[in-house]
Structure 1
């Protein structure tokens, strides 16, 4: 979790800028109804010693439709169609399916593609870092698998998403080629299990 500055004077000087990050997040949820972007995801172990990086593309349409496609180093597709969330592991040829109301909730995907921001998350501004304005969203539900999610903006453009899970593992998604209100085609949010794939309903 971001360490708070201890010098009270710095709080007073920087607070107005920090407050903008929460306002930007709320505007993003309200005004950006769809979008697409490329991303690089870096997952860091709790001790900071191990990292692994993957690349892919992300698309969404509110409410509750999104698609993550991981291309490197391992292919994986996650699709939310508004009713169910489908996770397809290409190497295993295995599909895991969960109802939307169980899979989404107070998750990072809900921040980007959902609609009930204040209901599911407690929001607060953070200090600027790495040239971005940051807001933190903490899930209100007590059994959430995440400690916190931090959202970074460059101006009004979504730039990064940093997730800290309950084991201290940190995942940073850095977005590029962001297209707000891009209106991806509806078929991007439909998923049909490939022939021969094992389908596991949860």
Structure 2
């Protein structure tokens, strides 16, 4: 009996998430109503409220799930000592490829979500932990450099997603890594 309820809950949440993502392709979160989400998902409003406070809560849960999933995906990897930076970026791009639709919607510059801020925070932490060259810099300077690199990388990834991922993740990782390293060379 419990597994049947769990499957129903999972299905309901999946349907609501997919409906919100579909609506976000057309309009901003502030223009979307719970009623629209429920109609698209073919779910009662009372069922919606059994899972989420409102549509902003649903969006927040989607964003948090993506960040946690991304962290888990990246933590599964072991990185080669010499190629770790490139491998980390390539794995991140592979993750975005696997979640193309939702990442493209949430990273769209016209979508008013907090997802980009969450990605920036996550990327900054990963950058400070894993990027070897950052440890050779003055700590006060490294904050500015990481901000510049992460913001630029996110814009490159956004462009790549919007271009239909026209290059494989490995090739894009090489491009981003070269851009980062050339930026670092001026600061060292």
TM superposition score category, shorter chain reference? under 0.3
Larger strand share, 1 or 2: 1
Question: How high is the TM-score relative to the length of structure 2?
Answer: 0.26
Question: How high is the TM-score relative to the length of structure 1?
Answer: 0.24
